[in-house]
Structure 1
Amino acid sequence: MESDAAAAKMAGLLDDHSLEMTGRDVDELTAARDLVPSGTRINITFLAGEDTALRVGAAAAVRAYGFTPVPHISARRLSSRAELAGFLEALRRVGAADNVFVAGGDPAEARGPFEDSLSVIDSGLEQHGVRRVSIAGYPEGHPGIPDHVLWPTLAGKLAALADRGLGGEVITQFGFDADPVLDWIAAVRERGIGVPIRVGVPGPAGVRRLIRYATRLGVATGAGLTRRFGADLPATAGPDGFLRALATDYHPERHGDVKLHFYTFGGLRATTQWINAFRDTTRDESSKQPPGGSS
């Protein structure tokens, strides 16, 4: 059984969680809309093979359903400054430019003038109605960037946002082990960085699919999942163990403002159903606790 304190921390972490979808997931969003709390932040990815109209249409649908759209901007996928300006203005026309997530993106070489997320931040996002920018965090490292570069890069991006009067937050890559995530968050706070952090959580999905995503995001993460399950891979896995460990060892006085961000892998409805069921389960477990804590 969870202790009362861990159950309370779990409830706090689940409150105001965010979700992720692609431009093609509007039907999934429609199916899940009654299961998602009003105002929930929903990130819309910036993938190859999707165009501006598809991304903007998805952001408009998120807003129309009463949620908060957070469109992604992939720096190295942008071919020109005009493309970025056009995208932001299209978002502003549908009321979806306030919040964005900016990342360097998957391509090794930039298609245009933006080499990284900092160059996009420095382009003047605020001139197009942007008020808050999320950036990426890597608790288990980045396969192409050493840690001694990641730390000053993180601080530099947040400083640039502050200089421009923009709010900021960090969304981490998803992981399967709470310890390195919490250690990393503690290290962020020790560096004097106090912005909110959303911990990336893998929604329920096939384990082999999770490994593919994890390996793309970070070799250590993917290898860790393989070691966890060994050769006997189950068909699917949920993040319940990860979340329980996170809630147990999360200490607000040390780790600060922490929430959850669920990567849905195209399964927005399935992830939302899982979150609601998990919340109910943890609430029921807490209500069954004997006075004085766990038994």
Structure 2
Amino acid sequence: MDHVSTASVSRDPLSPVALLEDFSLEMTGKDVPGLEEARDRIPAGTRINVTFLGNEDPGMRLAAAGAVRRFGFTPVPHLSARRLRSRAELADVLAALRQDGAADHVFVIGGDPATPHGPYDDALTLIRSGLLQEYGVRHVGVSGYPEGHPAIAGPALWSAIEDKTAALARHGLAGDVITQFGFAADPVLTWVEALRKRGIDTPVRIGVPGPAGIKRLMTYASRFGVGTSTSIARKYGFSITNLMGTAGPDRFIRALAEGYDTERHGTLKLHFYTFGGIGATSRWIADFRAGEVA
């Protein structure tokens, strides 16, 4: 199977296309057919995060991670701390991932439940459990929120990311930060610069909303507390009065590239939230890389 080559991509840090080197994608357990259809448009080895959704059973998530590996990509299964009922359940999940060759990389997140189902209050307690490296995990992704979190105050968010990156270092685990998606480059770059000033030099993957219907984009943005409808429309360049169209992230990526300074921002890559449209996202990326997106 032939995959897209990355050899021809410019390494100019100010090039929008250069930001697409080593991008990552996100999918759910239900997206395996879409991934199979899109596999020839995605560079070999691309990291593909498999989300932890409450309405998908562990078998579906495990099967998705295994499919990512079989198709020649790097699976990054999500571990939702507050949904884990016990240390034994975490061990079982990690053992199953290791057996399927999908345990090298994981992404840890607190998760949606307000009350933990078990002993893990947040991503930090999961990292501190010691089980990750015991079951072969080598690389851990953690979350970042450039525009804040609807349920967590700013100072607490900064403390959390400092504690998580410090814990990863103490446990000998490599890591990166994946940010929540946004629609404006300036808050993202300002947040990354503040992160670097706090001494955190971990690579950052900037969350990018993949191409999707405008109504769908705004629904997801509202769910995750990303701005207001009016501000989203203004920043992303579409009309709030026409919700039937489709918007892509080209304006956002170009603005990121224009403001990106390696000395101030360090290592930045892109992470695409596909909203169930991994095929559409992979096509958009291929077109953008080929210079076919205006």
Name the TM-score, length of structure 1 as normaliser: 0.91
Q: State the Cα distance separating 1:213 from its structure 2 match.
A: 1.2
Candidates 157, 162, 165, aligned match of 1:155: 162
Length, aligned pairs only: 281
2:82 match: 76
Conservation of the 8 A alpha-carbon contact between 1:203 and 1:264: yes
Conservation of the 8 A alpha-carbon contact between 1:215 and 1:223: no
The CA deviation string for residues 16-47 of structure 1, in whole angstroms up to 9 with x for no partner, is 00001101111011001111000000000010
Query: Counting helix residues as a fraction of each chain, which structure ranks higher?
Result: 1
The 1:7–1:116 alpha-carbon spacing in structure 2 relative to 1, beyond 3 Å, is closer
Query: Does 1:237 find its partner at 2:247?
Result: yes
Give structure 2 stretches of 5+ with no counterpart: 1-9
- Secondary structure in 1 matching 2:163: helix
2:39 match: 33
Candidates 193, 196, 206, aligned match of 1:199: 206
Candidates 188, 197, 208, aligned match of 2:195: 188
Query: Does 1:62 find its partner at 2:72?
Result: no
Conservation of the 8 A alpha-carbon contact between 2:182 and 2:226: no
Structure-2 separation of matches of 1:78 and 1:101:
14
The 1:54–1:76 alpha-carbon spacing in structure 2 relative to 1, beyond 3 Å, is same
Q: State the Cα distance separating 1:50 from its structure 2 match.
A: 1.1
2:274 match: 264
Paired letter, 1:216: R
Structure-1 separation of matches of 2:229 and 2:202:
27
Q: State the Cα distance separating 1:231 from its structure 2 match.
A: 3.2
The 1:221–1:120 alpha-carbon spacing in structure 2 relative to 1, beyond 3 Å, is farther
Structure-1 separation of matches of 2:212 and 2:227:
19
- Secondary structure in 1 matching 2:91: helix
Candidates 272, 278, 285, aligned match of 2:288: 278
Query: Does 1:129 find its partner at 2:136?
Result: yes
The CA deviation string for residues 198-245 of structure 1, in whole angstroms up to 9 with x for no partner, is 000000011111112112222526563155533333521110100111
Structure-2 separation of matches of 1:235 and 1:40:
29
Candidates 90, 94, 97, aligned match of 1:91: 97
Conservation of the 8 A alpha-carbon contact between 2:23 and 2:271: yes
Conservation of the 8 A alpha-carbon contact between 1:212 and 1:222: no
Name the TM-score, length of structure 2 as normaliser: 0.91
The 1:68–1:219 alpha-carbon spacing in structure 2 relative to 1, beyond 3 Å, is closer
Query: After the TM superposition, which segments of 4 or more aligned residues of structure 1 sit over 6 Å from their partners?
Result: 4-7
Structure-2 separation of matches of 1:30 and 1:265:
16
Moved more, 20-29 or 232-241: 232-241
Query: Does 1:144 find its partner at 2:151?
Result: yes
CA RMSD of aligned residues (A): 1.9
Paired letter, 1:39: G
1:211 match: 218
Structure-2 separation of matches of 1:224 and 1:156:
32
Q: State the Cα distance separating 1:112 from its structure 2 match.
A: 1.4
Q: State the Cα distance separating 1:5 from its structure 2 match.
A: 9.4
Query: Does 1:251 find its partner at 2:261?
Result: yes
Moved more, 106-115 or 24-33: 106-115
The 1:272–1:133 alpha-carbon spacing in structure 2 relative to 1, beyond 3 Å, is same
